[in-house]
Amino acid sequence: MALATATPGLARATLARRRGVPDPDAFVFTRWASDPFARGSYSFIGVGGSNDSRRDLAEALGDDEVDRVFFAGEATSAAHAATVHGAYESGLRAAREVDHEADDGATIVVAGAGVSGLAAARHLRDAGYSVIVLEGRNRVGGRVWTDHSIGHPVDLGAGWIEGTDGNPLTHLARRAGVRTAVTHFDNESTYGPDGAALSPAQVGRIEREYRYFMSEIEGPREDLDQDISVGAAIEGIVARDGDWTPTELTELDYSVNTTLEHEYAGDVHDLSLFWWDSGTDFDGPDVLFPDTGYDWLPTMLAEGLDVRLSHVIGRVEWGPSGVTLVTDRGAFSAAHAVVTLPLGVLKAGDVEFVPTLPAYKQRAMSTLGMGVLDRLWLRFPRVFWDADADLLGYVSPTKGRWCEWYSLAKHTGEPILLGFNAAAHARELETRSDDEVVAEAMSVLRTIYS
């Protein structure tokens, strides 16, 4: 999420303080790190890794005659990792690779019914192959997941088309006829540790401090022979300067968390200084789907495909004669397979490969990290925050603690807030009960609005 200059919601905050902050009527909380079908939210490049790690992960497996196992998913995209369009494009790329190798009408098994798997399966089905998609969950979509339990569709995973100009998802959204709404990340109401609304001048100073650090880490980035973490580089600048106040360091933590860790889902002490921002972006605004959520996309891609839900894959056997995927509901053999399992699942070893994955691919997985960005959606009896703001920022005295909120009220009128938590704090929150998570979130909102 971008750091942005605020327009403080002083009138709204004053009204909320006068009326009090109500308890939420409903909530839904994600636990992506604990999800056995994901083991995290999306990938990042860790210390010692590079875009070559993604390319190695994407490389097909086979022999001198023919490739048998192909790989897709956002983690395999060197240009657009950690995005839905990166997942979609990777599925098409893998499908084209299969098409180059496979005999006409061959049977292809796709592991995973997320966006990359469905994109690959649809392309291959349309090209005349016999395609079966195996999915461990009881739904399609993977990390694109829209929930309807709190009275309005809300996305638990991916939520935005990130850059609409030239993005293939823009065309698909138009074809689906779904309404989109632009998120203005510079339209943010920001509050200090004590809950007081920050002035534009105060927010501007926080921004300047952050820009200073981002410019200063370019020095070691260019001079070092060996990769270090972004966090280590920032700590080096703090130690070198030696004159940062506790308030300024708290503000720096806020900027780093909301701008880097929320964007990449990894702790800055895990992000590669050399490669953390190596991807490319589409131009244009970021848009979301306020009326429907994102699940129109996997629903559309899955239409007409042979998708076998609740088939948990435990083993992938590959060799000169083909591929067999062994699930808890039987084995499926094919000429080729497209594996779109999330990086977190591959890293955890939840699926056995026989023969085992080659060393270069295991090295690639070890240098890529699986980040966590968890979401807490809260529905209230009424809007008590600045309903005209896209985002609410909180300069927490504890790094990463409920620092960024998105308001659904602006585009829908619904009294719903989304709180983000990423990286280390997100993983720690997942060890707590739902009630404890909601209570901590509400303590922050009441610090601001009560």
What b/e sequence results for 50-79 when a residue is b if at least 16 CB atoms lie within 10 Å of its CB, and e otherwise? beebbebbbbbbbeeeebbbbbbbbbbbbe
Q: Is the pLDDT of residue 224 over 80?
A: yes
Can you tell me the mean pLDDT for 72-91?
98
The residue type found at 333 is S
Q: What is the pLDDT of residue 4?
A: 30
Query: Cα 427–40–301 angle (5° rounding)?
Result: 150
Can you tell me the mean pLDDT for 332-344?
98
Q: Is the pLDDT of residue 8 over 70?
A: no
Backbone angles phi, psi at 432, to 5 degrees: -100, 165
Can you list the domains of the chain with their CATH numbers? 1-41+186-280+372-450 (3.90.660.10), 43-143+295-369 (3.50.50.60)
What is the token pair recorded at 290? Answer: 């306020």
Q: What is the pLDDT of residue 17?
A: 45
Contact in structure between 13 and 386 (CB atoms under 8 Å): yes
What count of residues does the chain have?
Answer: 450
Over residues 93-104, the pLDDT tens digits come to 999 999 999 999
Q: Is the pLDDT of residue 317 over 70?
A: yes
What is the token pair recorded at 225? Answer: 């022979």
Q: What is the pLDDT of residue 315?
A: 98
Over residues 244-272, the pLDDT tens digits come to 999 999 999 999 999 999 999 999 999 99
Can you tell me the mean pLDDT for 29-46?
98
Can you tell me the mean pLDDT for 216-225?
91
User: pLDDT grade, residue 19 (50/70/90)?
Assistant: low
The Cα-based distances of 447 to 190, 196, 197, 355, 442 in angstroms read 13, 9, 11, 56, 8
Q: Which of 123, 118, 122, 152 has its CA nearest to residue 135?
A: 118
Q: What is the spatial distance between Cα 92 and Cα 113, in angstroms, rounded to a whole number?
A: 14
The region that residue 422 occupies, defined by phi over 0 for left and psi between -120 and 50 for alpha, beta otherwise, is beta
What is the token pair recorded at 33? Answer: 């790190």
CA 406 to chain centre: 15
3-class DSSP state of 49: coil
The residue type found at 263 is E
3-class DSSP state of 279: coil
DSSP single-letter state for residue 178 = -
Strand order in the sheet with 307-308: 61-62, 67-71, 336-339, 107-111, 130-134, 307-308
Query: Cα 226–231–233 angle (5° rounding)?
Result: 50
Q: What is the pLDDT of residue 330?
A: 98
Contact in structure between 206 and 255 (CB atoms under 8 Å): yes
Q: What is the pLDDT of residue 450?
A: 84
Q: What is the pLDDT of residue 9?
A: 41
Q: Is the pLDDT of residue 398 over 50?
A: yes
Q: What is the pLDDT of residue 10?
A: 39
Which residue, chain included where needed, has tokens 């610090």? 447
Contact in structure between 303 and 149 (CB atoms under 8 Å): no
Which residue, chain included where needed, has tokens 């067999």? 324
Average pLDDT of the chain, as a whole number? 95
Q: What is the spatial distance between Cα 163 and Cα 186, in angstroms, rounded to a whole number?
A: 15
Q: What is the pLDDT of residue 277?
A: 94
